């Protein structure tokens, strides 16, 4: 911790507080339930109910496969990011002189550089676990789609309960996917710390504004109405 200055500690605390606060608002508050992510969960229930009314469910299987493929892509990207971060962490002696030649600031000490890289590594590892679990949940969801009741039973209480359970599994997979994507976005904000504590605060706030706007003020959100 001796490599950290008080401005670094304050900026890092701001970064962590912004991430946690945004996550709590999105997932735990009434405001979050009006966001784009939460509104999509209602369509998951509607999708499952409409699926029960279809005799041929290849269309549903294709959508499920698309969800799995998108999650697998981000999980793979997380592994690439982890590998790149480990490479930079191992190459501190070669990287720091290059940073010293750049016009935007002074190269940090080796201890501070390694500490910052470890923080970035933690973010990407967290993202990988979220994407990997999301992919697994979408696998479970795919199995549930295959095991869904036949069309003749679509109006029975058991079929409706099954559709709701499948929608909940899909929503949980989407929730973990969103957390992984959130980690990627905040990783971009975290990069500001390599320029200094003040840039970290600025890039964190910029990331927060972009994500907030996409959830509550984007054209996609406006398409759902007020």
The per-type count for the chain, helices as H runs and strands as E runs, is 8, 0
Q: Tens digits of per-residue pLDDT, 2-61? A: 578 899 999 999 999 999 999 999 999 999 999 999 999 889 999 999 999 998 889 999
Burial of 155 (0-12, 13-18, 19+ CB in 10 A): exposed
Rg (the chain; Cα; Å): 22
Residue 138, both tokens: 């979408």
Q: In 3-state terms, what secondary structure has residue 200?
A: helix
Q: pTM of the prediction?
A: 0.92
Q: Tens digits of per-residue pLDDT, 152-205? A: 999 999 999 999 999 999 999 999 999 999 999 999 999 999 888 999 999 999
Residue 107 has pLDDT above 90, yes or no: no
Residue 1 binned pLDDT confidence (cut-offs 50, 70, 90)? very low
At a CB cut-off of 8 Å and minimum separation 6, what does 206 contact? 189
């Amino acid at each position: 911790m001796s490599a950290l200055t008080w401005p670094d500690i304050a900026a890092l605390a701001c970064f962590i507080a912004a991430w946690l606060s945004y996550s709590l608002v999105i997932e735990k508050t009434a405001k979050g339930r009006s966001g784009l992510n939460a509104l999509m969960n209602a369509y998951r229930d509607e999708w499952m109910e409409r699926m029960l009314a279809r005799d041929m469910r290849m269309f549903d299987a294709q959508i499920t496969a698309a969800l799995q493929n998108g999650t697998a892509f981000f999980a793979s990207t997380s592994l690439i990011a982890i590998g790149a971060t480990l490479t930079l962490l191992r190459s501190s002696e070669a990287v720091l002189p290059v940073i010293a030649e750049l016009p935007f600031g002074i190269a940090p000490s080796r201890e501070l550089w390694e500490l910052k890289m470890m923080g970035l590594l933690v973010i990407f590892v967290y993202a990988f676990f979220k994407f990997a679990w999301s992919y697994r949940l979408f696998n479970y969801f795919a199995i549930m789609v295959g095991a869904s009741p036949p069309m003749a039973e679509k109006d029975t209480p058991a079929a409706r309960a099954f559709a709701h359970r499948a929608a909940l599994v899909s929503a949980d997979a989407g929730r973990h996917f969103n957390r992984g994507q959130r980690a990627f976005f905040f990783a971009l904000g975290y990069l500001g710390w390599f320029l200094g504590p003040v840039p970290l605060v600025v890039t964190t706030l910029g990331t927060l504004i972009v994500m907030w706007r996409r959830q509550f003020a984007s054209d996609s959100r406006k398409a759902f109405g007020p």
